[in-house]
Amino acid sequence: MTQQARRSPLLISLALGLTLSSAHAQPVQTVRLGFFPNLTHAPALIGLERGLFQKAVGAAKLEAKAFVSGTSLSEAFAGGQIDVAYIGPGPAINAATRGMPIQIVAGASEAGAVLIARKDSGIRTYKELAGKVVAVPSAGNTQDISLRHILKEQGLKSKADGGTVTIVPIPPADTIAAFAAKRADATLVPEPWGAALQAQGHVLIGDEKTVWRGGKYPTTIMIVNARFAQANPALVEGFLKANTEAVAFLTRSPAAAQAAVNHQLLKLTGVKLDPRVLQRAFARTRFTTSLDLEALKEYAALNVEAGYARSVPDLSSFIRR
């Protein structure tokens, strides 16, 4: 797939979204929340498990929907189907660059992404990804952008860009089955799915610190539809308070938080993880409401490097002050 081809579907969706999102001028009866069933989205999982988001919307109805990747969530956001979302910085920056009316309002997690190779793949180093099939959650998502940067650092390219590495989209929760069926040789995947694969004997090639920036990179942030935010400032404040309370719970009570996260993951994916797997995944993930603007700027540059954007936007104009 060419770089231009990677851009086209989302551009179409964004154009549609700019039209449909004007519907948020009416009084809010329902608030739509998007998130992923990953540990890196644990503030969302905790917010749902502990009723924090329902409290935030008061008498309105909360509709929470799980997505498999930032790309699919961005398309739903563009289509006016989501008001508030937890999402990776890659899709968020792409959306902002292309005119989607978003505001970045808070951080949620940092690091928490690892590169795992199937145990019989023969891969033990980044360079040995040459000629292999590597899974990411979706084209254009945060892990896809990180993987393309890793490949560049190793002198490798995807097949679509004239190299030898085949990059395929596989939802994180499905990577366990994909490895069993040998549909992928490796994956750059958010936690807890990396720790779950490692528990089955698959091999850790890159931990959260070697993927990028010594582990000091945003993995999940909270965004809101800018028009929704303008019309409903109290609701946005409520979601920010809920996010802060969820992050505080994750930090203050890790054992209880792990149990709550596991309960939500079981409901959403049908997979109940061994507590030791979650403990390992938690150790690789940091939860924070802070936004690192410099890291976001570097991510925007990686977006350009990966071919998902033509320029680095002024991100300060998209961040809520």
Q: One-letter amino acid identity for 138?
A: S
Same fold for the pair 30-112+216-317 and 113-213:
yes
d(CA 296, CA 145): 13
pLDDT at position 15 over 50: no
Residue 110, helix vs strand vs coil: strand
Contact yes or no for 131/165 (Cβ under 8 A): yes
Contact yes or no for 122/69 (Cβ under 8 A): no
CATH of domain 30-112+216-317: 3.40.190.10
d(CA 228, CA 224): 7
Contact yes or no for 297/53 (Cβ under 8 A): no
Contact yes or no for 89/218 (Cβ under 8 A): yes
Task: Residue 310: count other Cβ atoms within 10 Å of its Cβ.
Answer: 11
Task: Residue 90: count other Cβ atoms within 10 Å of its Cβ.
Answer: 28
Read off the pLDDT of each residue in 121-127 and give the average, rounded to a whole number. Answer: 97
What's the pTM value of the predicted model, to 2 decimals?
A: 0.88
Q: What's the Rg (C-alpha) of the chain?
A: 19
d(CA 14, CA 78): 5
Query: Among the listed ranges 22-36, 167-181, 257-271, which one has the minimum average pLDDT value?
Result: 22-36
Nearest to 115 by CA among 173, 202, 217: 202
Dihedral angle at the C-alpha atoms of 93, 234, 227, 104, nearest 10 degrees? -10
pLDDT at position 170 over 50: yes
User: Looking at residue 83, what DSSP letter applies?
Assistant: S
Residue 70's pLDDT band, with cuts at 50, 70 and 90, is: confident
* CA dist list (Å): 9 to 4, 71, 152: 10, 10, 25
Query: Residue 198: phi, psi to the nearest 5?
Result: -60, -35
Pair of tokens at residue 196: 């779950």
Q: According to the model, what pLDDT value does residue 131 have?
A: 98
Nearest to 218 by CA among 105, 57, 53: 105
Read off the pLDDT of each residue in 186-200 and give the average, rounded to a whole number. Answer: 97
Contact yes or no for 186/178 (Cβ under 8 A): no
**Using omega within 30 degrees of 0 as the cis cutoff, is the peptide bond preceding 192 cis?**
yes
CATH of domain 113-213: 3.40.190.10
Residue 237, helix vs strand vs coil: helix
Compute the mean pLDDT over every residue in the chain, rounded to the nearest whole number: 90
Which sequence spans correspond to the domains of the chain? Answer: 30-112+216-317, 113-213
pLDDT at position 13 over 80: no
Read off the pLDDT of each residue in 174-187 and give the average, rounded to a whole number. Answer: 97
- How long, in residues, is the chain? 321
Q: Which residues contact 71 (CB under 8 A, 6 or more apart)?
A: 10, 91, 138, 139, 140, 141
